Each structure stands twice: as C-alpha cells, then as structure tokens.
Amino acid sequence: MKSPPPSPHPKNAVIVTDTKSGESWNRLQQMYSSSARARIAQNFILHPEVVTWDEIRRGHPAAQAAHAFFGTWGFPRLSATDLSALPQLEIVFFAAGSIKAFGEPFLATGIKICTAKLANARVVADTCVAQITLAAKNFFGHARAYRDESYPALAENPRQASASLNGTHLALIGGGMIAREIIKRLAGSQFKITVVDPYLSEVEAVRLGVSRNSLTHAFQSCEVVSNHLPNLPELTSVITEEHLRSMPPHATFINTGRGAQVDEPGLIRALQEREDLTALLDVTSPEPPSHTSPLYRMPNVLLTPHIAGCQGGELEFLVNEVITSSERWLAGEPLENLETLENLKVSA
C-alpha cells in the first residue's frame, strides 16, 4: 500500500521498550532496524532514540509529545497514572501478539492498541498445517516403526495402512485467529474439520465449513487434535489424561497453544501407556521442561522450543504489519488488529 501524503500537522512517534538490555532489547533492535525506522519516519516525526520505561516515568519530553508508540516484546507496563502524563498518546502499534502483560490500562484510558497478531497467526497456521498434514499420513508413527524389524507387520494394521489425507478427522481446540487461518488453508481439502469453542455459533461454523464438537468427543473421534486455546487461567489443565487416553489408535496430539492447558503428568502417563499415540509439543509447562522430564526420552514425543510463531527473519512480518497499520491509521482507514477490553478477557 502507498504511504499517506504528508500531513500539514504530522504525528509524533516514539519507539519504546522496558529496558535497553536482554533478549527483548536485542529483538527490538532487530525488528526496528534502520530500514523500518526510515519507513516510520516517512509518515511520523520519529524520535531518533528508543525511550525506556524509566525515561517515560521521569517525564521524557519525546514520550509526552508522542501521538503513537511503537514497540514489541518487552513493552513498558505503564499504569493509569503513568498514562495520565502522556496527554498526546492516541495509539500503540505493538509488533507482537498478546497484550495481556500491559494492555488493560491503555485500553481503559481510551488509547488504542493495534497488534501484529494476524501476522503471527499466519506463521503459526503454516507451521500447524505442515504438522497436521504429516500427522494425517501418520508420518511420525511410521518413522518410529520403520526402525524396527517388525515394521512390515505393523504396516498391515488398518489404521497404519489407511492413514491418508482423504477423510482424516481433525479437531481444532479453540476457534480463534490461528484456527481460522488453518481452516482457510485447508479449504478444499478432504479433512473433516471440527472445532471445539463455546463462542462459535452454528451459523458461523456452517460459514467456515466445519462442525462443532465437545472437547471429549473431539479427542475420542479425531485422528489429529491441535490445541489453539487462549492462555486463560480457567483453561489450566483443561486437556486431561482421560482425553488423551481416549484418542483413536495411532492418533496425534499437537500443541502450539500453551503447555499449562494440558495436564502434563497425565499426558506423560497416557503417552507412556499408549505408545501408538504421537505428541508434537511446541509448548510445555514449565518451558522448557525440567531436565528430568520423561518428555525428552519418550520416542512418541517430539519437543520443539516454542518456535511455531515468528522467529528469525519472520519477525519482519510483525513489524511490517504494524507499520502498514500505522499508515492506514494516518490515512483514516479501518484497522484489522485493534484490541478491545472485551477481547482482552478471552484472548491469549
């Protein structure tokens, strides 16, 4: 999209961070590179230095004059009192997903927050579709079995022989942004998709081309189950040992949501007794697992270090998303990724 024409009264902008040290500082420098800052500066009067939480609280003049804050992970946690000293601030452009750590005082004060949640959801969805496709082929079970001399006999098992992309039942636990991106990517496939989400209406399910289901029946009936629940306290350990034990033969459980949503000791017990099952765990609780955790040694568990979302060069997707949103905001166009207090209560 084209940048908006220069305004006769351009807006002031500042890039902000909690502190100029640690992993979040290194990531901010990578994301808000010289080229990203130059793009922002085409449309805003951008303060040349990053401003920290401490400087904001001590009355930094650039922060007090700013109409827009830009940031990412490590965003300052400002109180309503802090925000009252920022009279010009209208909007935050946050180049990441969840705003749980800092968002409520901003939204309650009337300051808008625009995230890069959609950009991150697209990357997670791409990762999950790859995992789902391999799981439907029982790729991981075959890979384990192929190391054993008994593999030809195992291959004759009806589930092993019939594992395919044609008619596999897929359950998406949670019907939010990532799940909808997965559904979009699998449109026209032969997956039979069901969604577990109390907020998904029958009308919306029909529009998406999916069915609705209970958590219990989804685990009992689907060969592939992928977790995308929001990170809410009431969902802690909502996926239980019984759910995992009830899965069909040679089924796969994928978790790119949060580890705390799964009863992890129960998951370990279920997978130790059901060696035909596979778990692809990008998240655990704690994260990473304790060095004594059996998860490291279980052949039917594949652990990855929370990499389903944007990593490395993909971080550019996030900052591009918010800069584009800032250009749309200046042009008076609607924004896709605006947060609300209502959504904050039920989102990740």
Domains and CATH numbers, the chain: 11-116+311-346 (3.40.50.720), 137-303 (3.40.50.720)
Torsion sign, CA atoms 6, 7, 8, 9? negative
338: number of Cβ within 10 Å:
15
Torsion sign, CA atoms 164, 165, 166, 169? positive
**What is the secondary structure of 262-310 as a DSSP string?**
B-HHHHHHHHHH-TT-EEEES--SSSSPPTT-GGGT-TTEEE--S-SS-
Mean pLDDT of 83-109: 95
| pLDDT tens readout for residues 290-304 | 999 999 999 999 999
In the DSSP assignment, the letter for residue 35 is H
pLDDT at 251: 96
pLDDT at 288: 95
Q: Which residues contact 285 (CB under 8 A, 6 or more apart)?
A: 258, 259, 260, 262, 264
Q: Copy the structure tokens of residue 341.
A: 């207090």
Q: Copy the structure tokens of residue 312.
A: 């490395």
Percent of residues, the chain, with pLDDT higher than 90:
84
Q: What is the rounded CA–CA span in Å between residue 134 and residue 252?
A: 10
Higher pLDDT among residues 346 and 178, named by residue: 178
pLDDT at 3: 54
pLDDT at 5: 55
Q: How confident is the model at residue 97 (pLDDT cuts 50, 70, 90)?
A: confident
H/E element, 316:
helix 315-330
Q: How confident is the model at residue 348 (pLDDT cuts 50, 70, 90)?
A: low
Q: How confident is the model at residue 83 (pLDDT cuts 50, 70, 90)?
A: very high
Nearest to 49 by CA among 37, 39, 57: 37
Q: How confident is the model at residue 336 (pLDDT cuts 50, 70, 90)?
A: confident
pLDDT at 280: 98
| pLDDT tens readout for residues 104-157 | 999 999 999 999 999 999 999 999 999 999 999 999 988 988 887 776 665 566
Report pTM.
0.89
Q: How confident is the model at residue 14 (pLDDT cuts 50, 70, 90)?
A: very high
Percent of residues, the chain, with pLDDT higher than 70:
93
Secondary structure (3-state) at 52: strand
pLDDT at 267: 98
pLDDT at 52: 97
pLDDT at 164: 78
| pLDDT tens readout for residues 255-281 | 999 999 999 999 999 999 999 999 999
245: number of Cβ within 10 Å:
17
Mean pLDDT of 81-108: 95
Dmax over CA atoms of the chain, in Å, equals 76
Q: What is the rounded CA–CA span in Å between residue 261 and residue 256?
A: 11
Higher pLDDT among residues 166 and 164, named by residue: 166
- At 284, phi and psi to the nearest 5? -145, 175
